[in-house]
Amino acid sequence: MADSFKISRLKPTCFSLHNAKTKRKLKPTKSVHSFDRRKNLNRINALKQSAFKEEKFDFFLIFNSTNLTYFTGFPGATALLIPEQGESILYVSAVNYEQAKAETNGLTVELLKQGENLMEKIANQTSSEKSSKFAVDTLPIESWCALAKAFGGEDKLEPANNIVREMRKIKDHQEIQNIREACNLASIGMQTAFDTIKPGVKEKQAAAEIEYAMRKKGSDGTSFDTIIASGTASAFPHGSCSDRTIREGDLVVVDLGATYNFYRSDMTRTFTAGKPSEKQRKIYETVKLAHQKAFQTIKPNIPAREVDAAARQTIEAGGYGEFFVHNLGHGVGLEIHEAPTLSPDSKDTLAAGNVITDEPGIYLPGYGGIRIEDTLLVTQDGAEKLTVGPYALANAP
């Protein structure tokens, strides 16, 4: 699911920081422990190196829920205070307090009592450091203003989510294993879609079969709301899933993902309900070629915009350039959309350990659309497809 978001370093005053048919047999998922807690401490130490030694901050405040999971392995915390020296403090409300103590180590777990002001608590606990400089990952406007008020102004605060962003771009071995499992589960779901999509089936019915198949094999849930967009609705890149009954000859875009140990996958295929027309075949082959050209372009140290260009130029050469209306891809990890971004104006450079999507598409208003997407791992010498499954346009002769 491509998106045109950008992540940039912003200096706020008082505003938000967010701105050939196949029946391939797929392997069952393996059990992988969700988080190695020593790994989390290593991540905190790596952040300290970047934030305190290189950027000269004294404290780092983590508020973003995904970043909290990344650094602690615990998804129910409220905030994390990382000092240059000493143990980090994890702030947790009463409902998650005992679990946090049981499931984290190397951190001081502190109870945030009912009615207690988190921002004032942090300010009071660090008040002895009068000239300290605090790095902050992300906060909505109201919370940023509350934090600035607690500190007596925002002079001590500096938005620094770019540091965390750069860390999360490169996946370690454990992260890659979790994403592999999520991709394997997505591939199982897509095979189910291939077997299920036919005239007379409702979009929601197909989605239910897909999600059930992934759950049975070990998925923790979906990466996002499953998209089954048929007929003219397939021309909407971020289409939904309705009660519509799939009809003979429809193009059907299936966009799905599974989660495993907090990590996500993203995969799209387009099928026809019945025998495809020549026009459908032509569009499909153009998208398939663009998908392959992009895949062949991927390698470490290549600008992400060049990968986007490889796909975009192929679609333009096929005569459909104006109908490729989104970026080629995005990073995938704890979030379904994260860095790096593969777009015409991306400033990112790919590196080994990036996990990204390759998802060109052609969307003809009033007719239908076709998208093919895989989640890929950037390797030392190219790329590896982590999602597998049918590349056939039709599931019937």
Residues 219-262: tens digit of each pLDDT:
999 999 999 999 999 999 999 999 999 999 999 999 999 999 99
Residue 9: inside a domain = no
197 with 316, same domain: the answer is yes
Task: Place 127 in a pLDDT band, splitting at 50, 70 and 90.
Answer: confident
270 with 156, same domain: the answer is no
Distance CA 361, CA 371 (A): 4
41 with 162, same domain: the answer is yes
pLDDT above 70 as % of the chain: 89
In contact, 184 and 382? CB cutoff 8 Å? no
Q: β-strands 267-272, 251-256: how paired?
A: antiparallel
Q: Which of 141, 168, 195 is the last residue of a domain?
A: 168
Residue 257: inside a domain = yes
Task: Place 130 in a pLDDT band, splitting at 50, 70 and 90.
Answer: low
Lowest mean pLDDT among 53-57, 96-100, 154-158: 53-57
Q: Report the domain count for the chain.
A: 2
pLDDT score of 26: 41
Residue 17: inside a domain = no
Q: What is the CATH number of the domain that holds 111?
A: 3.40.350.10
Res 19 pLDDT > 60: no
pLDDT score of 2: 55
Q: How many CA atoms lie within 13 A of 287 on its CB side?
A: 31
Lowest mean pLDDT among 9-18, 96-105, 145-154: 9-18
Distance CA 2, CA 337 (A): 8
Res 396 pLDDT > 60: no
pLDDT score of 7: 30
Q: Tell me the per-residue pLDDT of 253-309, one tens digit each, with 9 for 90 and over.
A: 999 999 999 999 999 999 999 999 999 999 999 999 999 999 999 999 999 999 999
DSSP state of 112: E
Res 47 pLDDT > 90: yes
Residue 64: inside a domain = yes
pLDDT average, residue stretch 351-374: 98
273 with 194, same domain: the answer is yes
The parent domain of residue 291 ranges over: 170-385
272 with 128, same domain: the answer is no
362 with 222, same domain: the answer is yes
Q: What is the CATH number of the domain that holds 345?
A: 3.90.230.10
109 with 229, same domain: the answer is no
Token pair 């895989």: residue: 374
- Whole-number average pLDDT of the chain: 90
Q: Which of 134, 150, 168 is the last residue of a domain?
A: 168
pLDDT score of 30: 40
Residue 265: inside a domain = yes
Q: Tell me the per-residue pLDDT of 63-91, one tens digit each, with 9 for 90 and over.
A: 999 999 999 999 999 999 999 988 999 99
305 with 164, same domain: the answer is no
161 with 263, same domain: the answer is no
Q: Tell me the per-residue pLDDT of 171-203, one tens digit each, with 9 for 90 and over.
A: 999 999 999 999 999 999 999 999 999 999 999
pLDDT above 90 as % of the chain: 84
Burial 237-257 (b: 16+ CB within 10 A, else e): bebebeeeebeeebbbbbbbb
pLDDT average, residue stretch 25-50: 66
Q: Which of 168, 198, 213 is the last residue of a domain?
A: 168
274 with 333, same domain: the answer is yes
181 with 156, same domain: the answer is no
Global confidence as pTM: 0.89
Residue 15: inside a domain = no
Distance CA 30, CA 184 (A): 10
Residue ranges of E strands in the chain: 59-62, 79-83, 88-93, 107-112, 134-136, 157-159, 221-222, 227-230, 251-256, 258-260, 263-264, 267-272, 329-331, 338-342, 355-358, 361-364, 368-371, 374-378, 383-385
pLDDT score of 129: 65
pLDDT score of 27: 43
pLDDT score of 56: 87
Q: β-strands 88-93, 107-112: how paired?
A: parallel
pLDDT score of 20: 33
In contact, 233 and 243? CB cutoff 8 Å? no
162 with 221, same domain: the answer is no
pLDDT score of 39: 73
